[in-house]
Structure 1
Amino acid sequence: MDGQLRVCKDFAKSRKIKIVGEYIDRALTGKSDDRPQFQTMIDDAKKKTFDYVIVYKLDRFARNRYDSAIYKSKLKQFGVKVLSAMENIGDNPESILLEGMLESWAEYYSIDLSQKVRRGLRESAMKGQFVAGRIPLGYKIVNKKLEIDPTTAPIVQEIFTRYAAGEPKKAIIN
């Protein structure tokens, strides 16, 4: 992210564009427009706060063609132009085609990658490999598979036994 921001700042400087703000939704996907900073940017554009939105690449603006078209149209109505620091897109008719192709490619890539990840997780799970986040208490990972951990499993067994006997949770925790 920092590298992308640096490239955008260099791009602005080389074109003598003054940066008045940064809108960064860290760790949020571009697949959705449900991004707080993105929405703030749209609101600020409406107030005529700036003339340009500079993105590292167009796929950083939106990952689907629909959102991209809707929000670029809104920005255009507000007198704001979206510029890509890495993609040389002009104002000629060919640029319309290029921009459309880049946006289509970004949407394709996002969907394709999502399908590949899901397929990989499903295949790993079918092989009995652990694919979730945190390892459950009482288990450990051995050769990508969950195995009972002889060190912590007795603790889990004691918790279940005490709970099944009617002991309150607070007493078990203490």
Structure 2
Amino acid sequence: MSGSRIHILRLFKDESISGAKVDEETFEVDRLGFQEMLEYLSHHEVDYVVTLNTSRLWRSDIVKVLVHRELKKYGVDIRSIEQPQYSIHKKDPSDFLINGLMELLDQYQRLEISLKLGRGRNKKSQQGGYVGGNVALGYKVEKGKKSLVIDERQAKTVQRVFDLKEAYPSWTLTQLAEQLNEDGHRTKQGKKFSKVQVKRILDRKAFYCGLYRYGEITTNGKHQAIL
């Protein structure tokens, strides 16, 4: 980066960050795009991670702390287009106040939208219907309808994950991912599996058995079970 000019090395994208969680076992941000970015940073010299707004990197204080921790590890700072003064190293009180207020406003707007949509989604989820969001591996959204149907190729991958877990209970997530890749299985994006993606599949066992969960609601889903 020289002056105001930025040389873009690579673009990373998450399908969604609204539901980003922290992996309690590894204390890492459970987001595929973010993990791919960290892998890239570990092998390349990078000065900044460029984003439209810091809300594209985190939407909770705990995720913010973890993002800062990982970027500092690689000596990388943040450049935000909408927050040009933002830096993970800056201690200026005025910058802290401005950035904090912007983040609070963003949270307020998301909460307001969530409350408006919540009633309709709760009603549909109580009936076991798909209410939107990321589609789990093994399924696809039926064209013209907001319902899930099985993707036969992906379903075989899901079944293989649980077969391996049952056959080799002591295997780590990394070992499971390596075996999947060796068997020729691929993600929705056609990429090799990582331990984060394998854990995500295992965590959805109830869903793959036919249950549907939305918030605190758990009911029999309208989708066909894979397991």
Superposition TM-score tier, normalisation by shorter sequence: 0.5 to 0.7
CA distance in 2, matches of 1:135, 1:81: 40
SS at match of 1:89: coil
Is the Cα–Cα contact under 8 Å of residues 71 and 77 in structure 2 kept in the other structure? yes
Does residue 52 of the first structure (1) align with residue 40 of the second (2)?
Answer: no
Distance 1:47 1:101, change over 3 A: farther
Deviation for aligned residue 1:124: 9.2
For these two proteins, the number of residue pairs brought into alignment is: 120
1:86 to 82, 105, 130: 82
| Residue 16 of structure 1: aligned partner | 5
Q: CA deviation at 1:100?
A: 2.5
* Match of residue 69 from structure 1: 65
Bigger helix share? 1
State the Cα distance separating 1:23 from its structure 2 match.
0.4
Preserved contact between residue 53 and residue 83 of structure 2 (Cα < 8 Å): yes
Question: Measured at CA, do residues 135 and 113 of structure 1 come closer, stay the same or move farther in structure 2, by a change above 3 Å?
Answer: closer
Contact 2:51/2:79 (8 A) holds in 1: yes
Identify unmatched segments of 5+ residues in structure 1: 1-11, 126-130, 137-174
In the other structure, the counterpart of 2:117 is: 117
TM-score of the superposed pair, with normalisation by structure 2: 0.43
The secondary structure found in structure 1 opposite 2:30 is coil
TM-superposed CA distance for 1:17, in Å, is 2.2
Could you say if the C-alpha distance between residues 43 and 100 of structure 1 is closer, same or farther in structure 2, counting changes exceeding 3 Å?
A: farther
1:1-174, aligned counterparts within 5 Å? 15-25=4-14, 27-32=15-20, 33-90=29-86, 91=90, 92-121=92-121, 134=145
Q: Give distance in 2, aligned partners of 1:93 and 1:74.
A: 23
CA deviations over 1:105-162 (Å, ceiling 9, x no partner): 333433442232112445899xxxxx968379xxxxxxxxxxxxxxxxxxxxxxxxxx
Deviation at 1:13, TM superposition (A): 8.6
Give the counterpart letter for 2:71 in structure 1: L
Aligned CA distance change for structure 1 residues 17 and 132 (closer, same or farther; 3 Å): closer
Q: SS at 1:54's partner residue? A: strand
Describe the superposition over 1:73-101 as per-residue Cα deviations: whole angstroms up to 9, x where unpaired: 32023211111112232543311222223
Q: Is the 8 A contact 1:54 1:83 kept in 2?
A: yes
Q: TM-score, normalised by structure 1?
A: 0.54
Q: Which residue of structure 2 lines up, in the alignment, with residue 5 of structure 1? A: none
Amino acid at match of 2:16: L
Contact 1:31 1:62 in 2 (8 A): no
